C-alpha cells in the first residue's frame, strides 16, 4: 500500500523548526508572530495594516489579513464557487477560524494552503467561523470542496491526488476553447504534457481548427515563443504534417523579427531607447526554444537565425540571470522566469543535437534549472509582477527531479501551499500573488506544468526521440572555452584541501538564497564559509559572497581565489577586485588592488585556455591597475579589445582606458576603439552610462595631442558608421542606428574640441538638419565651444531649430497655448504644454523674455482661512491613495462656495505653506529648486488632521492679451509627494487630481493653465480660491504640504510668420515619398520623396474660392456626382482658398497643386475637374506611413465649388 502524507499545522511548524535547528535562525528577529522564519519573500508583514491572500484555492474566496496579525476577513466570493454555493459568505465578514485554526507562528499562506491539503485528504469540509461584524455572534459556514486524497511522498509522480489535479485541469482546458496556436496560451503544451491519449485527441481537434483558420503573417516574438513550442511537440508526438506549414511560417517570422541575435516585444523596429537596446529576453529566450524544436521537426529554419540566437542565449547559462535586454548577465535571484526559460531552450538544444545528454547544452540546461531551488526564496518578485517567474521556476525545477532529487523534493514540498492556493474550483489554475498573471487562462494554463514535467512526456522534458524528428549537429561549444563548461557544473569547486561542499543535501530553509544571504550578512562569518560560497555552483551565491569579501575588506581571500584551479573560484576573486572601481555612490579604491593581484589577473587574461567569463571579470578589475603594470601586456589587451564578443570588448575598454589616454600608447589603442565604435550595433556597449562614459572622462584629462587624436578618430568612427542598417532577416534598424549615432556623438562631444568636430561631421551626415545633435550644443558649457561656433549655434537655433520644433507636429498646440484658447488637458504624450519646451529652447540661447514669474499676491503672504478634520470614512495607514469621498462637518457641505462664511464655523486663519511631517512643521529651508514646486519653502501653518480645507479671497491684476497664466499647487511635484486635491475658483471646481505623484511623473508642475474663458473670474476685483487635500499617512510617516499661487508668462508669438517659417523648416511626406517605402529595395532613399516648401506660393487660380466637402472616394474615376459619400474627418467640411496661398484654416496652405496639411506634415496632391457645369476638387486624404508600402494610394476627398 502506498504511503500518503497530510501536512498539519503542527507538523509543518515542527518540520520547519527542525530544518532550522543548529542555525540560530529558527525564529524571526523582533517578530512576535513568526515562531518559524518565513521561507519566501515577500511574506505577510505583521505590522502592515492590510494584506491579502487573493485566492483560498478551490474554496472560492479571497482573504484579507488585518491587524493584529493576523485577523482574517472575506475579501471576495468567486462566482459559481463552493463558497458562493453556501449563500452565506460576503466581503467584509470576519473569519474567526478555519477548521478550528487561527493564523499563528508560520507564514499564513502556508497555513492556509495546508488547510486545503488536509480538507482534500479527508472529508472536503472547510469550516469557517464567521462574524458579520465585530461583536456579532459567530456562525459556522461549511464550504465543501471535492475530496482528492492526500499527496504521496513522491508527488506529483505516483500520486493519485496529483493525477486528479492534472485531470481536472485537462478537462477544464478541453471545455474552455481552443488553446493551440501562436499566443501566450500554453494550454496545448500542458495537454501534451499529461501523456494521456484523451488529451491528445483534444489537441488534435485544436490543431485541425488552427490549421484551417491560420493565415500566417506577422507574429509577435511573445506569441512565437509561448505558442510555438507546443506546435512542435504536437508534431513530434503525432507526425501530423498538417501543422508543419504553421511551424515553418512562425520560424520565418522569427527570422524576420530578430536583430542582434534576439527579439523585442512586438517584433517591430528596435527601440534602442528601451531598456538595453530594446531586446525583451523574457520573450526571446522562448523563441530560441521554438526554433530548435522547429529544426527537430524538419521544417526550414534560417541557419543564421538559429545559430546566432542559440549563441546569444547559451552564454547566459551558469553566469547569473538572463539579462532583461541586450546586456550583461544580471546578478541576484530575481529573473522574471528567464533563467527557467533558458533551461528549456537548452533542453531543446540537447534534444536536437546528436550528442544529447553528453552535450554542453544538457549541462547548461541543468545549471539553469538548478537555480530554481536557490531563487525560490524570492517568490513572486519580478518586473511587472513575479507571476511569470513562478511559471518557469516551477517548470524548470521539474527537469531536476532525477538529478537532484533531494532539492527537488524540498522545492515541491515547501511550495505545496502555493500550488494549492493557486488552484480554482473549476479545475483551472491562476498564479497566486502574481498580479496580472494571476488569472485562469493563458498564464495560469502554464503553472500546472509543475505537476507534469516529471512525467517526461515532451521532448523538452526528456521524452524519447520521436520517429518523426530529425537530429542536427549543433556546435560543440557555441561560446567560450572548455573552462567555461565548468560554470555549468552542479558540483562546487574544491577548496584548497580538495574538499567539496555537499550541495546534494541542501534544504530550502537553510540553503536557498535568502537564508544564505542572511548567513553571509552575519558579521561573525568566517573566512572558510565565505570561500565555500565563493566556490558554490550558483553564480548568484558566489556573487553574494564576493560582495561580503569586498565590504568586509578581507582582501587576502582575493589572492587565494585568484590562484584557485577552478575558473569559478577565480571568477569570484576577480569579481571582488572589480568592486575596487568607482560605482554609484562609491569612490574607486585602487590602493586595494595589490601588485600581486594584478599579476594574477594578468595571468588570467594571458591564458588562452582561460574561461571567457573569468577573463571578462579580470579585464574589468585591471581597470584600476597602475599603467606601468599593464603596458607590457598591451598587445594582449588589444587582442581582447578586438574580440568578436562584445562582453569582452566592453571589459577590455575598462582595462585600456588609461593607456588610451596616455601619449605613449594612444596611437595603438585609440584606432582600435574607433573601429569598434563604428562597427558596434549593441546599445549597452555604446551607452554613455557605461565604458564609453569612462573613456570620455579619461580623455578629458589626457594631453592635448591625445585629445586631438581622439577627436579625429572618434569623428572618423562617426562618419564610418553606416546611414542605413537592416538586420539579416530584413528588419529595419535605422531608428536603432540613430540612437547609436547619438551615443557616439555624446562621446565625441565630451572630448575637448569634440563639439567643433561634431558640427563639421554632423552637418555632412545630416544635411537637412539645422543642428544635428542639437541638445549636445544647447546643454554644453559655452567654454567648450569656440566663440564662432557659439554664435553660429545661436543663429541656427533662432533660424532653424525653433521653426523645426514648431513644425514638428506642434503648430496646432502652440497656437492654442499662445492664445489660451482651450483648456490644457494633459495625457501620456502631452504631459506639459509645448510652449514650455519652446521657451526652454529660447533659454538655451539666453532669451528669458518668456519665462514664468509670480503674479499677484506673494505666495508666502497670502492669508487663508482653513479647517482640518478626520473624516468618519476612516482608512488605515499605508493602504494606498487617501483621496476619497468624505463627509464634511455639519454645515460645511458648501465650504468652497463664494458666500460661505468660515468664521461661522470656527475656521482658523493661517499663511501657506500648510503642512506637517510626523506632526511637526518643517521650518528649515529645503533644497528643491523647482520654481513651480517651492517645497523648499518653510512651512508656516500646521496641517494637523487628515483633511485640509482652505479658502481665501484675493485681488489679482488684470490678465493681458499675449500672456499666459497658470494656478500652481506647490509641494506636489516630486515622486511619492502630495495626495489628491481639488481647487475651486469663485465656488466652481477648477481642477481635481485624484492621487499623489507616481513613478515617472515627478518634476512636472501641478496646477492648471487658465484658459481665456476663465479670465473674468480673476478680473472681478476679488477672487475666492478654495482647495482641499489629504495627508499622506503611512505606517511610520505622516506628511504633506500645499501652497497655491498664480504665475504669468509672456506667450511666444505663434502667428502666420512663425507658421510659414516652420513650413520651410520641416519637410512633408507625400505620395512620392510613399512610393519609396519599399524595405526590400535598399537602393531607394525614401527621404527623396519628401516635399520641402521653398517659401514661395505658386498660384492656382482653379482652386481659389470656397468648396464644400461631399465625402471620400477611392479614385477620381470612381466618383459620380449622384453617389452618397462618407464624410472624411481629416479635411474640413468647408474650405476657402485665398489667392495668396492661404485658406480659411490657419493650418492649411497651398502652392500650385499641393495642399499643405500642417497638422500632420503631409503634402496632399489636389486637382480640379469639371463634370458638366460643376467644378469638383479632389484632394488626397493623407495617411502616408511606412507600414502602407510603396503601392498604397490614399483615398481622395471630393469637394464641389460653392457658387456665389
Residue 454: closest CA among 506, 404, 380, 418: 404
pLDDT in tens, 909-940: 999 999 999 999 999 999 999 999 999 999 99
Residues 768-778: what's their mean pLDDT?
89
The confidence score (pLDDT) of residue 1084 equals 73
Domain presence at residue 826: no
Stated as kind and residue range, the H or E segment containing 20 is helix 9-20
> Do 19 and 102 share a domain, yes or no?
yes
The confidence score (pLDDT) of residue 1082 equals 65
> Do 407 and 494 share a domain, yes or no?
no
pLDDT in tens, 4-30: 444 444 444 554 444 444 344 457 888
pLDDT in tens, 276-300: 577 999 999 999 999 999 999 999 9
pLDDT in tens, 1120-1160: 999 999 999 999 999 999 999 999 999 999 999 999 999 99
The confidence score (pLDDT) of residue 275 equals 60
277, exposed or middle or buried, with CB in 10 Å at 0-12, 13-18, 19+? Answer: buried
Domain presence at residue 608: no
Which of the listed residues 755, 773, 795 is the one where a domain comes to its end?
A: 755
> Do 1043 and 1142 share a domain, yes or no?
no
Residue 532 has pLDDT above 80, yes or no: yes
Stated as kind and residue range, the H or E segment containing 97 is strand 94-98
Residue 41 pLDDT class (50, 70, 90 cuts): very high
Q: How many domains does the chain have?
A: 6
Distance set, CA 190 to CA 238, 399, 443, 782, 877 (Å): 16, 15, 12, 64, 43
> Do 361 and 290 share a domain, yes or no?
yes
pLDDT in tens, 53-69: 999 999 999 999 999 99
Q: Are strands 941-942 and 914-917 parallel, antiparallel or unpaired?
A: parallel
The confidence score (pLDDT) of residue 23 equals 41
Q: Are the beta carbons of 1052 and 801 closer than 8 angstroms?
A: no
> 3-class SS at 1161?
coil
Residue 305 has pLDDT above 50, yes or no: yes
Residue 177 has pLDDT above 50, yes or no: yes
How far apart are alpha carbons 789 and 1001 in whole angstroms?
36
> Do 585 and 631 share a domain, yes or no?
no
Q: Are strands 1148-1151 and 4-5 parallel, antiparallel or unpaired?
A: unpaired
Q: Are strands 863-869 and 947-954 parallel, antiparallel or unpaired?
A: antiparallel
Domain presence at residue 1154: yes
Residues 94-106: what's their mean pLDDT?
97
Q: What's CA 870's distance to the chain center, in Å?
A: 39
Residue 1194 has pLDDT above 80, yes or no: yes
Q: Are the beta carbons of 122 and 147 closer than 8 angstroms?
A: yes
Residues 351-377: what's their mean pLDDT?
98
Which domain covers residue 549, as residue numbers?
489-595
Residue 99 pLDDT class (50, 70, 90 cuts): very high
Q: What's 291-329 look like in SS3?
A: HHHHHHHCCCCCHHHHHHHHHHHHCCCCCCECCCCCCCC
**CA-atom Rg of the chain in angstroms:** 34
Of residues 1049 and 383, which shows the higher confidence score? 1049
CATH number for the domain spanning 971: value is 2.60.120
| Mean per-residue pLDDT of the chain | 94
Residue 3 has pLDDT above 80, yes or no: no
How far apart are alpha carbons 241 and 174 in whole angstroms?
23
Domain presence at residue 88: yes
> Do 362 and 252 share a domain, yes or no?
yes
Stated as kind and residue range, the H or E segment containing 576 is helix 567-578
> Do 268 and 350 share a domain, yes or no?
yes
User: Which of 238-242, 286-290, 330-334, 635-639 has the weakest average pLDDT?
Assistant: 330-334
Domain presence at residue 741: yes
How far apart are alpha carbons 681 and 695 in whole angstroms?
18
Domain presence at residue 778: no
Tell me, what DSSP letter sits at residue 592?
G
> Do 1141 and 1094 share a domain, yes or no?
yes
CATH number for the domain spanning 137: value is 2.30.42.10
- The CB density around residue 560, as the number of other CB atoms within 10 Å, is 15
> Do 144 and 165 share a domain, yes or no?
no
Instruction: Please list, residue by residue across 1110-1140, b when 16 or more beta carbons sit within 10 angstroms of its beta carbon and e when fewer do.
Output: bbbbeeeeebeeeeeeeebebbbeebebeee
How far apart are alpha carbons 97 and 784 in whole angstroms?
73
Residue 1061 has pLDDT above 90, yes or no: yes
> Do 586 and 650 share a domain, yes or no?
no
Q: Are the beta carbons of 115 and 29 closer than 8 angstroms?
A: no
The confidence score (pLDDT) of residue 384 equals 66
Which of the listed residues 990, 1019, 1050 is the one where a domain comes to its end?
A: 1050
Residue 829 pLDDT class (50, 70, 90 cuts): confident
CATH number for the domain spanning 457: value is 1.50.10.10
Residue 134 pLDDT class (50, 70, 90 cuts): confident
pLDDT in tens, 1105-1127: 999 999 999 999 999 999 999 99
The confidence score (pLDDT) of residue 18 equals 45
Residue 755 pLDDT class (50, 70, 90 cuts): very high
Domain presence at residue 834: no
Which of the listed residues 441, 461, 481 is the one where a domain comes to its end?
A: 461
> Do 1046 and 1114 share a domain, yes or no?
no
Residues 438-455: what's their mean pLDDT?
91
How far apart are alpha carbons 186 and 190 in whole angstroms?
7
Residue 1000 has pLDDT above 90, yes or no: no
How far apart are alpha carbons 1136 and 455 in whole angstroms?
76
> Do 1038 and 889 share a domain, yes or no?
yes
Contacts of 1127 (CB under 8 A, 6+ apart): 1109, 1111, 1112, 1133
Left, alpha or beta for 329 (phi > 0: left; psi -120 to 50: alpha)?
A: beta
Residues 166-179: what's their mean pLDDT?
97
Residue 240 has pLDDT above 70, yes or no: yes
> 3-class SS at 1095?
coil
HSE, CB side, 13 Å, CA atoms: give it for residue 976.
Answer: 6
Domain presence at residue 523: yes
pLDDT in tens, 194-217: 999 999 999 999 999 999 999 999
Left, alpha or beta for 627 (phi > 0: left; psi -120 to 50: alpha)?
A: alpha
Residue 523 pLDDT class (50, 70, 90 cuts): very high
Amino acid at each position: 500500500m502506498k504511503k500518503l502524507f497530510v501536512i498539519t499545522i503542527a507538523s509543518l511548524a515542527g518540520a520547519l523548526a527542525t530544518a532550522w535547528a543548529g542555525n540560530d535562525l529558527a525564529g524571526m528577529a523582533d517578530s512576535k508572530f513568526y515562531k518559524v522564519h518565513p521561507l519566501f519573500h515577500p511574506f505577510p508583514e505583521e505590522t502592515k495594516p492590510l494584506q491579502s491572500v487573493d485566492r483560498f484555492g478551490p474554496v472560492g474566496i479571497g482573504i484579507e489579513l488585518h491587524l493584529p496579525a493576523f485577523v482574517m476577513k472575506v475579501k471576495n466570493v468567486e462566482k459559481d464557487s463552493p463558497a458562493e454555493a453556501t449563500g452565506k459568505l460576503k466581503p467584509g465578514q470576519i473569519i474567526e477560524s478555519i477548521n478550528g485554526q487561527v493564523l499563528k507562528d508560520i507564514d499564513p499562506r502556508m497555513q492556509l494552503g495546508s488547510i486545503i491539503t488536509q480538507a482534500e485528504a479527508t472529508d472536503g469540509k472547510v469550516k469557517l467561523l464567521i462574524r458579520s461584524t465585530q461583536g456579532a455572534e459567530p456562525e459556522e459556514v461549511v464550504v465543501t470542496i471535492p475530496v482528492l486524497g492526500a499527496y504521496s511522498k513522491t508527488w506529483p509522480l505516483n500520486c493519485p491526488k496529483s493525477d486528479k489535479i492534472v485531470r481536472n485541469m485537462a478537462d477544464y482546458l478541453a471545455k474552455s476553447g481552443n488553446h493551440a496556436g501562436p499566443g501566450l496560451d500554453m494550454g496545448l503544451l500542458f495537454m501534451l504534457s499529461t501523456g494521456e491519449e484523451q488529451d491528445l485527441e483534444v489537441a488534435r481537434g485544436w490543431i485541425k481548427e488552427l490549421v484551417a483558420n491560420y493565415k500566417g503573417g506577422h507574429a509577435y516574438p511573445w506569441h512565437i515563443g509561448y505558442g510555438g513550442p507546443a506546435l512542435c511537440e504536437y508534431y513530434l508526438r503525432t507526425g501530423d504534417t498538417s501543422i508543419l506549414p504553421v511551424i515553418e511560417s512562425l520560424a520565418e517570422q522569427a527570422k524576420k523579427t530578430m536583430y542582434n541575435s534576439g527579439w523585442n516585444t512586438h517584433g517591430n523596429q528596435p527601440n534602442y531607447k528601451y531598456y538595453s537596446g530594446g531586446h525583451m529576453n523574457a520573450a526571446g529566450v522562448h523563441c530560441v526554444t521554438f526554433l530548435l524544436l522547429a529544426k527537430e521537426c524538419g521544417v526550414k529554419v534560417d541557419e543564421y537565425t538559429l545559430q546566432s540566437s542559440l549563441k546569444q542565449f547559451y552564454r547566459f547559462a551558469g553566469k547569473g540571470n538572463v539579462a532583461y535586454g541586450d546586456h550583461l548577465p544580471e546578478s541576484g535571484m530575481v529573473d522574471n522566469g528567464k533563467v527557467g526559460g533558458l533551461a528549456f531552450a537548452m533542453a531543446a538544444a540537447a534534444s536536437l543535437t546528436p550528442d544529447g545528454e553528453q552535450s554542453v547544452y544538457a549541462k547548461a540546461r541543468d545549471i539553469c534549472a538548478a537555480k530554481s531551488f536557490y531563487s525560490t526564496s524570492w517568490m513572486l518578485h519580478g518586473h511587472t509582477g513575479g507571476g511569470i517567474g513562478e511559471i518557469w521556476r516551477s517548470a524548470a525545477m521539474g527537469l531536476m527531479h532525477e538529478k537532484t532529487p533531494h532539492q527537488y523534493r524540498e522545492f515541491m514540498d515547501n511550495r505545496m501551499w502555493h500550488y494549492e492556493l493557486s488552484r480554482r474550483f473549476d479545475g483551472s489554475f491562476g498564479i497566486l500573488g502574481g498580479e496580472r498573471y494571476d488569472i485562469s487562462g493563458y498564464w495560469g494554463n502554464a503553472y500546472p506544468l509543475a505537476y507534469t514535467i516529471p512525467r517526461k512526456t515532451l521532448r523538452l522534458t526528456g521524452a524519447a526521440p520521436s520517429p518523426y524528428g530529425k537530429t542536427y549537429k549543433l556546435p560543440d561549444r557555441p561560446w567560450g572555452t572548455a573552462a567555461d563548461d565548468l560554470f555549468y557544473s552542479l558540483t562546487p569547486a574544491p577548496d584548497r584541501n580538495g574538499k567539496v561542499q555537499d550541495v546534494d543535501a541542501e534544504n530550502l530553509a537553510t540553503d536557498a538564497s535568502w537564508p544564505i544571504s542572511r548567513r553571509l550578512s552575519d558579521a561573525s562569518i568566517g573566512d572558510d564559509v565565505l570561500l565555500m560560497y565563493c566556490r558554490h555552483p550558483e553564480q548568484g551565491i558566489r556573487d553574494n559572497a564576493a560582495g561580503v569579501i569586498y565590504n568586509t575588506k578581507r582582501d587576502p581571500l582575493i589572492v587565494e581565489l585568484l590562484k584557485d584551479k577552478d575558473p569559478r573560484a577565480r571568477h569570484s576573486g576577480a569579481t571582488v577586485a572589480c568592486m575596487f572601481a568607482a560605482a554609484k555612490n562609491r569612490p574607486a579604491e585602487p590602493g586595494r588592488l595589490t601588485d600581486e593581484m594584478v599579476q594574477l589577473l594578468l595571468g588570467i587574461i594571458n591564458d588562452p585556455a582561460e574561461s571567457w567569463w573569468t577573463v571578462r571579470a579580470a579585464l574589468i578589475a585591471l581597470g584600476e591597475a597602475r599603467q606601468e603594470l599593464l603596458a607590457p601586456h598591451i598587445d594582449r589587451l588589444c587582442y581582447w579589445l578586438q574580440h568578436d564578443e562584445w562582453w569582452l570588448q566592453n571589459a577590455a575598454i575598462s582595462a585600456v582606458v588609461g593607456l588610451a589616454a596616455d601619449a605613449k600608447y594612444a596611437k595603438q589603442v585609440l584606432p582600435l576603439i574607433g573601429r569598434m565604435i563604428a562597427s558596434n550595433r549593441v546599445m549597452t556597449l555604446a551607452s554613455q552610462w557605461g565604458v564609453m562614459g569612462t573613456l570620455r572622462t579619461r580623455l578629458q584629462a589626457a594631453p592635448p595631442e591625445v585629445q586631438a587624436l581622439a577627436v579625429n578618430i572618434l569623428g572618423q568612427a562617426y562618419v564610418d558608421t553606416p546611414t542605413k542598417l537592416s538586420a539579416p532577416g530584413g528588419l529595419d534598424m535605422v531608428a536603432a542606428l540613430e540612437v547609436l549615432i547619438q551615443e557616439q556623438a555624446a562621446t565625441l562631444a565630451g572630448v575637448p574640441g569634440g563639439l567643433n568636430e561634431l558640427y563639421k561631421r554632423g552637418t555632412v551626415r545630416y544635411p537637412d538638419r539645422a543642428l544635428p545633435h542639437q541638445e549636445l550644443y544647447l546643454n554644453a558649457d559655452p567654454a567648450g565651444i569656440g566663440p564662432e561656433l557659439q554664435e553660429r549655434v545661436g543663429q541656427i537655433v533662432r533660424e532653424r531649430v525653433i521653426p523645426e520644433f514648431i513644425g514638428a507636429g506642434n503648430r496646432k498646440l502652440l497656437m492654442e497655448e499662445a492664445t489660451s484658447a482651450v483648456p490644457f488637458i494633459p495625457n501620456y504624450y502631452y504631459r506639459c504644454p509645448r510652449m514650455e519646451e519652446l521657451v526652454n529652447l529660447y533659454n538655451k540661447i539666453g532669451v528669458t523674455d518668456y519665462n514664468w514669474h509670480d503674479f499677484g499676491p506673494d505666495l508666502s503672504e497670502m492669508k487663508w482661512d482653513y479647517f482640518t478634520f478626520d473624516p468618519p470614512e476612516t482608512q488605515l495607514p499605508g493602504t494606498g491613495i487617501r483621496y476619497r469621498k468624505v463627509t464634511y462637518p455639519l454645515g460645511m457641505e458648501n465650504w468652497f462656495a463664494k458666500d460661505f462664511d468660515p468664521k461661522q464655523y470656527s475656521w482658523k486663519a493661517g499663511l501657506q505653506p500648510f503642512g506637517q511631517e510626523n506632526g511637526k512643521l518643517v521650518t528649515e529651508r529645503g533644497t528643491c529648486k523647482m520654481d513651480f514646486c517651492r517645497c523648499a519653502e518653510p512651512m508656516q501653518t500646521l496641517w494637523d488632521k487628515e483633511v485640509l480645507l482652505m479658502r481665501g479671497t484675493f485681488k489679482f491684476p488684470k490678465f493681458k492679451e499675449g500672456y499666459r497664466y497658470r494656478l500652481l499647487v506647490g509641494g506636489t511635484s516630486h515622486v511619492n509627494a502630495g495626495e489628491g486635491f481639488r481647487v475651486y475658483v469663485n465656488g466652481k471646481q477648477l481642477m481635481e487630481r485624484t492621487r499623489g505623484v507616481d513613478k515617472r511623473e515627478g518634476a512636472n508642475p501641478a496646477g492648471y493653465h487658465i484658459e481665456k474663458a476663465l479670465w473674468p473670474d480673476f478680473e472681478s476685483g476679488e477672487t475666492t480660491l478654495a482647495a482641499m487635500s489629504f495627508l499622506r499617512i503611512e505606517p511610520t510617516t505622516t506628511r504633506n504640504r500645499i501652497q497655491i499661487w498664480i504665475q504669468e508668462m509672456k506667450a511666444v508669438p505663434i502667428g502666420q510668420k512663425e507658421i510659414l517659417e516652420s513650413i520651410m523648416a520641416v519637410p512633408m511626406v507625400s505620395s512620392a515619398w510613399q512610393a519609396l517605402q519599399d524595405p526590400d529595395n535598399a537602393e531607394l532613399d525614401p527621404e527623396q520623396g519628401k516635399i520641402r516648401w521653398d517659401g514661395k506660393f505658386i498660384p492656382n487660380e482653379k482652386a481659389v474660392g470656397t468648396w464644400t466637402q461631399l465625402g471620400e472616394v477611392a479614385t477620381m474615376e470612381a466618383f459620380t456626382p449622384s453617389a452618397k459619400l462618407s464624410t472624411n474627418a481629416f479635411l474640413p467640411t468647408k474650405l476657402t482658398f485665398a489667392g495668396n496661398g492661404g485658406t480659411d484654416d490657419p493650418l492649411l496652405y497651398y502652392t500650385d497643386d499641393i495642399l499643405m496639411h500642417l497638422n500632420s506634415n503631409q503634402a496632399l496632391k489636389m486637382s480640379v475637374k469639371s463634370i458638366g457645369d460643376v467644378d469638383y476638387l479632389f484632394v488626397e486624404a493623407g495617411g502616408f506611413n511606412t507600414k502602407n508600402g510603396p503601392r498604397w494610394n490614399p483615398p481622395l476627398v471630393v469637394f464641389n465649388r460653392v457658387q456665389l
